[in-house]
Amino acid sequence: MPRVYIIDVTNRDGVQTSRIGLSKLEKTLINWYLNEMGVFQSEFGFPFTFHETNYLNANLDLAEMGVLKPIRLEGWVRALKSDVDLAFKLCPQIRHLNLSISTSPIMLELKFQGKFSFASVIKSMQDAVKAAYAQGAETVGVNAEDASRTGIESLIEFGLGAKEVGAKRVRYCDTLGADDPLTIYTRLKELAQKTKIPWEMHCHNDLGMAVACSVAGARGIVEGGQDAYINTCINAVGERAGNADLLSVLLALKYASGFKELDLFPPEIKLNKIWAFAKYASYAFGLPIPYNQVGVGSNAFAHESGIHADGALKNRRNYELYDYEELGRGEPELVETGRMITVGEYSGIKGFRNVFGNLEVEFKNDAEATRVLELVRYANVHTQKPLTREELIFVAKYPDQAKKIMTVTPP
């Protein structure tokens, strides 16, 4: 029975979004939270981009060490042999790639200015896939950029061309967020049936339908007999109006009336990790969670009007579709209101010992504590925000990788 997998693209589409971004340490923590949640794959960055190299390689080390496991770390590159070659030169351990190229007539004309015919798009994609496998890739997906404005016959040709050279999936990019759920369902069902290769949904929210299009497309793929992959971002970040929100997609798969009986919710997902993850992502991006955000907004389980409050108090099912406990909400949060010792770029060993004592992190000896203190100072220089509990613990537990992640040396 075909199923649905989640490929989160926060560390690629999310961070490339205008005016928001993450430090490399924060990107690493995003991968860690995604792994904790049971997400299948993280598109963790750009392996042909120099300032990503240390971060990517350190995260690949963490995967090898079993820290970022079982999540799959996959890099995004253009479907050009030259990009693939550079990716393997900079990140030799990388094993999973998605290769992207525009397929729509409008982008061929307006973006490539006629330099690429559709036939040469397919050739470039196939050459890039072959180059990736030749250099050690285990899985390669190919992305049809602007698929929603590409004719169905061209997408079938692209999909079959990808399959011919061993691509594992084709990404249907609704790059402009132009699709609607009914159309995308029909198109993806046909694409799955005619290409017999798994498809990936990549939907943007320009018309407010990214989540609806993602789950409708996934349903089409599954009914067309193939596995479906859905691209998401935490807290719905992403280019312009954002990508499909991770939590909303998961809740739609689990609770939407037409989806409940389809059993498409990925069984390995631990929804109760989302509350801590969403709050961390909000802090790291510096973007408040909207009060009406699905599941994690401050009003998601709030009731005030007479009829609603009365109904919710009598039985939560009157006005709540799912339980806040399921999302890891409901525990009181302790906020220090008296003396507080914090640790940052100018800290000394006494304050540092106090903070890490409270985190119940022990050091073998003074030398180890001094080394971690130095790295914590750099981590604060690096993020320019007070470090979170998880960030501090990460630096203490994986000092060698933390050092590599924070090392950004311009060429």
Residues at the contact surface with Zn ion, assessed by CB under 5 A: 13
Number of other CB atoms surrounding residue 10 within 10 Å? 30
Supply the minimum distance, in Å, between the C-beta of residue 13 and Zn ion.
Answer: 4
Q: With residue 191 as reference, give the H or E element that holds it.
A: helix 181-195
Which of 130, 184, 185 has the alpha carbon at shortest distance from 161? 130
Residue 71 CB, nearest approach to Zn ion (Å): 20
Q: In this complex, which beta carbon is closest to Zn ion, that of residue 63 or of residue 210?
A: 210
What is the rounded CA–CA span in Å between residue 228 and residue 170? 10
Q: How far is the CB of 241 from Zn ion (least distance, A)?
A: 11
Torsion angle of the four alpha carbons 153, 159, 164, 166, in this order, in degrees rounded to the nearest 10: 180
SS3 state at 237: coil
Of the two residues 168 and 171, which places its CB atom closer to Zn ion in the complex?
A: 171
Minimal distance, residue 370 CB to Zn ion, in Å: 44
The CA distance from 94 to 103, in Å, is: 26
Distance CA 398, CA 97 (A): 26
Q: Which two tokens stand for residue 224?
A: 């067309």
Least Å distance, CB 39 to Zn ion, is 17
Q: In the complex with Zn ion, which residue's Cβ is closer, 13 or 146?
A: 13
Tokens at 190, concatenated: 């046909």
Q: How far is the CB of 110 from Zn ion (least distance, A)?
A: 18
- Closer residue to Zn ion, CB minimum distance, 210 or 379: 210
Other residues' Cβ atoms within 10 Å of the Cβ of residue 326 = 15
- Kindly state the smallest distance separating residue 224's Cβ from Zn ion, in Å: 23
Query: How far is it, in rounded angstroms, from Cα 62 to Cα 380?
Result: 21
Q: Tell me whether residue 13 or residue 227 sits nearer to Zn ion (CB atom).
A: 13
Other CB atoms within a 10 A radius of the CB of residue 362 amount to 10
| First and final C-alpha spacing in the chain | 49
Please give the structure tokens belonging to residue 60. 């690949």
Nearer to Zn ion, 244 or 327 (CB): 244
Nearest distance from C-beta of residue 231 to Zn ion, angstroms: 7
Nearer to Zn ion, 221 or 244 (CB): 244
Helix residue spans in 201-273 (DSSP H): 210-223, 246-255
What is 49-112 written as a DSSP string? SGGGHHHHHHHHHHHHTTSS-SSEEEEEEES-HHHHHHHHHH-TT--EEEEEEE-SHHHHHHTS
Cβ proximity to Zn ion: between 12 and 96 the closer is: 12
| Cβ-closest position to Zn ion | 13
Nearer Cβ to Zn ion (8/13): 13
**CA 401/CA 405 separation, integer angstroms:** 6
Closest approach of Zn ion to the CB of residue 132, in Å: 20
**279 class by beta-carbon count within 10 Å (0-12 exposed, 13-18 middle, 19+ buried):** middle
Q: Is 153 exposed, middle or buried (0-12, 13-18, 19+ CB in 10 A)?
A: exposed
Residues in the chain: 411
Measured in whole angstroms, the distance separating CA 36 from the mean position of its chain's CA atoms is 13
Closer residue to Zn ion, CB minimum distance, 232 or 380: 232
Closest approach of Zn ion to the CB of residue 14, in Å: 9
Q: Is 90 helix (H, G, I), strand (E, B) or coil?
A: helix
